């Protein structure tokens, strides 16, 4: 299962459509490179084939994600519950340090030092899903177990 927002799903569908359109272009590029002669020493041909393989692999990956996608609807959720799309302020129970996290369906790739993105498939994301304001959650992170108190749902 892959939880995501409708916006995340739309973004994946858009990328899939773009990559499927690239199939013809890549096939034509391979055909043109093949016409150049000896395939053993034809760098253009090998590069085009590699690009085609990477494109097909990404298409397969996107199709698999869409086939297991669960689009979240947060309209019926209580305001104090954490779900996809929520931004929360967590306090490390041990150190008292506070940090803001956003539970996202798909990582945007944008780096924001003010807000760290986590997915529901990550250890922290799993712990956050459906947790409520004021609860203390436990996450088994790579550096060991951590406990966080949900201070605020923004």
Per-residue pLDDT, 35? 86
Q: What is the pLDDT of residues 29-47, one digit of tens each?
A: 999 988 887 777 888 899 9
Q: What mean pLDDT, rounded, does the chain reach?
A: 87
Interatomic CA distance for residues 83 and 104, integer angstroms: 9
| Cβ count within 10 A of residue 68 | 10
Q: Is the pLDDT of residue 117 over 80?
A: yes
| Cβ count within 10 A of residue 130 | 11
Element (H, E) at 131: none
- CA 48-54-58 angle, to 5 degrees, is 145
Query: Which domains does the chain show, CATH number per domain?
Result: 2-71 (1.10.287.180), 74-153 (3.10.50.30)
> Which of 6-15, 38-47, 75-84 has the largest mean confidence?
6-15
Please compute the mean of the pLDDT values over residues 131-149 and round it to a whole number: 92
Interatomic CA distance for residues 114 and 99, integer angstroms: 8
Please compute the mean of the pLDDT values over residues 130-144 and round it to a whole number: 90
The pTM for the full model equals 0.65
| Residue 148: burial class (beta carbons within 10 Å; 0-12, 13-18, 19+) | buried
Query: How many Å separate Cα 64 from the centre of its chain?
Result: 13
Q: Are 88 and 105 in contact (CB under 8 A)?
A: no
Higher-confidence residue: 42 or 56?
56
């Amino acid at each position: 299962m892959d939880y995501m927002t409708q916006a995340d799903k739309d973004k994946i569908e858009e990328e899939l459509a773009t990559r499927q359109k690239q199939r013809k272009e890549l096939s034509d590029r391979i055909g043109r490179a093949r016409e150049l002669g000896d395939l053993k020493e034809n760098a253009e041909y090998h590069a085009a084939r590699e690009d085609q393989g990477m494109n097909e692999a990404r298409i397969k990956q996107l199709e698999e994600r869409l086939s297991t996608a669960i689009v979240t609807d947060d309209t019926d959720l209580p305001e104090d519950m954490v779900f996809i799309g929520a931004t929360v302020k967590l306090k490390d129970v041990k150190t008292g340090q506070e940090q803001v996290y956003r539970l996202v369906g798909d990582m945007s790739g944008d780096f924001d030092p003010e807000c760290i993105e986590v997915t529901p498939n990550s250890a922290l994301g799993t712990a956050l899903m459906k947790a409520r304001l004021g609860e203390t959650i436990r996450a088994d992170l790579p550096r060991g177990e951590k406990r966080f108190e949900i201070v605020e749902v923004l």
